[in-house]
Structure 1
Amino acid sequence: MICVMSKESHEHDEAAVARVAVVPDSFKGSASAVEVAEAMARGVREAFADRGLPVSVHTLPFADGGEGTLDALLGAWGTEALTAETTDALGRPVQARFGVSADGRVGVIEAAEANGLPGVCDVPLRPRQASSRGVGRLATELLDRGVEEILLCIGGSASTDGGTGMLAALGARFLATDGSELPDGGGSLTDLTEVDLAGLDPRARRVRWRIACDVTNPLVGEHGAAAVFGPQKGATDEDVRVLDAGLGRLADVLAEATGTELRDVEGMGAAGGMPATLSSILGAQLLPGSRMVAEVLDAQRLLDGADLVLTGEGRFDGQSLGGKVVDAVRRLTPAHVPVVVIAGSVSLSADELRRSGITAAFSIARGPRTLAEMRAEALTEITSTAHQCCRLLTQPALPSTVRPVPGTTKEPRP
């Protein structure tokens, strides 16, 4: 239980105010992380009000570095999305969103806004020509706004160009033997002989770059960017061979130009090899997405001070414990603090849940319903489930406390 004092006894002990941290992911297809956090918070406040107990609720919309990270960060920062004219993976004009923190220091880009696969699914896919150039144009927008750090979320890309299009938009030139600039796309990289950085925007090297990367694939080879991710971007066997050879050539030229060997480095194969140029030329740091978001939002400080943590996502299953939002929250939360998951569906067994370090998990589903019905009622059901959870946890019980005994250590969660 998180509240064992009566309303009357609380009046003599201000420290008894319960502190609840609400740190959910989005429910994909149903509600954003911001909406989910607000819905959970309503349920928490209602439950404590029912008991006549005070509560301090802090919401922190969260994400794992993939789709929805831009919205989660904007929600936590209290800022609005900005838009800019750029191009999609095939070079067609498109409006793309990006964001800037309230203090103007940090910018965030979801690369798929500019080079995402959904943006080019209206035409036959062209894996050899698809480019990340549009992402570079968004980066220029952030540099123009004077940010000190750029967070790049790279999932869902349509390109396999090793990030050359993005760097070209920032002023780098990728040259063939005759000195001509290569056309956009990974298919031309087999002709690469030189990287000319004389025209690179100097601001690009002054800012800090962090890339949300949750795959460990190398740049080339049977587990590389082209072989593993190329087919889902429309690559045939021959396309894969050409793209892989091009990325290998890129690795050789970058190694010669920067002294950085990339072929076997984990994560370089993410998003069509985009980290390759960013890490070798701009010194970008690769981080698990949830860790990057946690650091940017200072989630550790909030969770350290909580008496109860509510988190959640659309589907809570075994994958949730492998680096996604719920996993990050449970690892950052002190072991003595209850962590409760509220999800659209819960598929973990009682034994799996017990071993996970999660205190409890609840589905918002009430009886048989269609997916459309679930989505339409998701926010109402999230509030109701949070309400019921907190009514249970605030039920008077045997004397106890959520605070650790002075001098004891906080054991890490599994």
Structure 2
Amino acid sequence: MRILIAPDKFKGTLTARQAGEAMAAGVREVFPDAAIEIVPVADGGEGTLEAALATGGEERTETVQGPLGEGVEARWVLTGKTAVIETAEASGLRYVRPRVQSALSAHSYGSGQLIKAALDAGAQEIICGVGGSAMTDAGSGALRALGLRVMNNDGARARLGGAALSTALRIDDSGLDPRLKDVQIRIAADVTNPLYGPDGAAQVFGAQKGADAAARSILDDGLRHWAELLHKTNGTDVQIPGAGAAGGFPASFLAFTTATLESGFDLVAELVQLEKALDGVDLLITGEGSMDEQSRFGKAPLAAADRANARRIGTVLAVGRSTLNLEDVTGHGVKALAAAVDCAPSVDEAIAEADRYLQQATVVALRNLDEG
């Protein structure tokens, strides 16, 4: 029997690779002679770097500006002529204590510095995994790290950050790094939110970054003003589905580069050659830390299950916890589902010994499959 294990990360407990190893240990209990391959996947947010490393990419580290201007060490991956970055590495929520002031002032400048490092390394393609970000600045900070100039109504350079977008009066793109014209930038997004408005970046995601209702309104006004300024500058309409990902990070790149927005999972699946890995496979095992209704919309485990199902390969889900039951996911070709929290004495223990209980969940799911 050939089994492909292709998990996403179990956020806060296990990386995708660690989750895969725990699942593999479970497989060996039930099918000791199985041939096992582990291919970490992601939906284009955090975990994209790990997926790139699994392809043999080279990990690099840069000292860049964090979301509040402090120096942080940010990783990125170079695999051949393709660079993979995550906005969370340079501009992530991990670097701030979510509160109103940080939500208003956080910026993406460091993510632009990572892109510059990739250009310096000769990358011809840059994959940007977005998610877990602290900023709501429409990617303006990142492009300013690459030479964009933004002036306010006093003629001085506008401050960085989402709140300052409302003060921007003029954009000068003459100093943008010329290499941006020749590199392919592919932005992986797993949401369809527009840049601004009730479903936009500030109103939907601002609260998790520390913004109260008043701050979300300020940020939303800034995004709307920035979109109008972009349109005035070069005619680009950035109020489109997906532009609200990661604090609106894609918007400025859509306006000033040849960047494209792509399904996060599809992009990662291409990167790790998931279709090739599925060749000759008898069973797929996948999972994530928390499976819920959102998991049906472009999240990695069920998206991977769909790829397998198209080949008539069954899928087993081993997850941390789930509000979905097996009947909810059978349409994706899922044959068995088990959760680590149901194998552990308590949720706290399931988290503390995540690998142990994920291994047990894998065993339970496989035995249920065998009984079925």
Q: Same fold (TM over 0.5)?
A: yes
Counterparts of 1:231 and 1:350, CA distance in 2: 32
Amino acid at match of 1:129: S
Deviation at 1:133, TM superposition (A): 0.7
Instruction: Answer whether contact 1:82 1:97 (CA < 8 A) is retained.
Output: yes
1:77 counterpart (55, 64, 82)? 55
Instruction: Answer whether contact 1:86 1:93 (CA < 8 A) is retained.
Output: yes
1:219-368 map, 5 Å: 219-263=195-239, 265-333=240-308, 334-365=310-341
Counterparts of 1:212 and 1:158, CA distance in 2: 17
Q: Are 1:186 and 2:158 matched, yes or no? A: no
Q: Are 1:98 and 2:73 matched, yes or no? A: no
Q: Are 1:200 and 2:200 matched, yes or no? A: no
Counterparts of 2:140 and 2:248, CA distance in 1: 9
Counterparts of 2:71 and 2:293, CA distance in 1: 40
Instruction: Answer whether contact 1:176 1:191 (CA < 8 A) is retained.
Output: yes
Deviation at 1:391, TM superposition (A): 6.8
Q: Deviations over 1:293-352 (max 9, x none)?
A: 112112122224311111112233333222211111111113521111112334433432
Instruction: Answer whether contact 1:353 1:360 (CA < 8 A) is retained.
Output: no
Q: Deviations over 1:89-126 (max 9, x none)?
A: 1111121222222x2x2222221222222312188633
Counterparts of 1:144 and 1:199, CA distance in 2: 17
Deviates more, 1:132-141 or 1:217-226: 217-226
Counterparts of 1:120 and 1:367, CA distance in 2: 34
**Secondary structure of the structure 1 residue equivalent to 2:288:** strand
Deviates more, 1:385-394 or 1:346-355: 385-394
Aligned to 1:30: 13
Counterparts of 1:239 and 1:198, CA distance in 2: 32
Amino acid at match of 1:34: R
Counterparts of 1:100 and 1:386, CA distance in 2: 33
Deviation at 1:29, TM superposition (A): 2.5
Deviation at 1:71, TM superposition (A): 2.2
Aligned to 1:125: 101
Are the structure 2 counterparts of residues 307 and 83 from structure 1 closer, same or farther at C-alpha, using a change threshold of 3 Å? same
Aligned to 1:57: 36
Q: Are 1:213 and 2:194 matched, yes or no? A: no
Aligned to 2:129: 153
**Secondary structure of the structure 1 residue equivalent to 2:61:** strand
2:22 counterpart (26, 39, 45)? 39
Aligned length: 371
Counterparts of 1:362 and 1:252, CA distance in 2: 49
Amino acid at match of 2:168: L
Q: Which runs of 5+ in 2 are unaligned?
A: none
Counterparts of 1:378 and 1:294, CA distance in 2: 25
Are the structure 2 counterparts of residues 256 and 383 from structure 1 closer, same or farther at C-alpha, using a change threshold of 3 Å? same
Counterparts of 2:209 and 2:360, CA distance in 1: 41
Are the structure 2 counterparts of residues 238 and 203 from structure 1 closer, same or farther at C-alpha, using a change threshold of 3 Å? same
Are the structure 2 counterparts of residues 388 and 98 from structure 1 closer, same or farther at C-alpha, using a change threshold of 3 Å? same
Instruction: Answer whether contact 1:86 1:114 (CA < 8 A) is retained.
Output: yes
Deviation at 1:379, TM superposition (A): 2.2
Are the structure 2 counterparts of residues 143 and 119 from structure 1 closer, same or farther at C-alpha, using a change threshold of 3 Å? same
Aligned to 1:410: none
Instruction: Answer whether contact 1:346 1:361 (CA < 8 A) is retained.
Output: no
Instruction: Answer whether contact 2:336 2:365 (CA < 8 A) is retained.
Output: no
Instruction: Answer whether contact 1:22 1:37 (CA < 8 A) is retained.
Output: yes
**Secondary structure of the structure 1 residue equivalent to 2:62:** strand
Q: Which runs of 5+ in 1 are unaligned?
A: 1-17, 398-414
Counterparts of 2:344 and 2:217, CA distance in 1: 48
Counterparts of 2:211 and 2:365, CA distance in 1: 48
Counterparts of 1:384 and 1:120, CA distance in 2: 35
Q: Deviations over 1:166-188 (max 9, x none)?
A: 00000111123554321212222
Deviation at 1:23, TM superposition (A): 0.7
Q: Deviations over 1:191-230 (max 9, x none)?
A: 3232212211112222111112222222222222233333
Q: Deviations over 1:279-301 (max 9, x none)?
A: 11112211232222112112122
Counterparts of 2:71 and 2:196, CA distance in 1: 31
Q: Deviations over 1:365-397 (max 9, x none)?
A: 5655133322343323444554566577689x9
Q: TM-score normalised to the size of structure 1?
A: 0.81
Q: Deviations over 1:63-104 (max 9, x none)?
A: 112222222332x22345322111111111121222222x2x
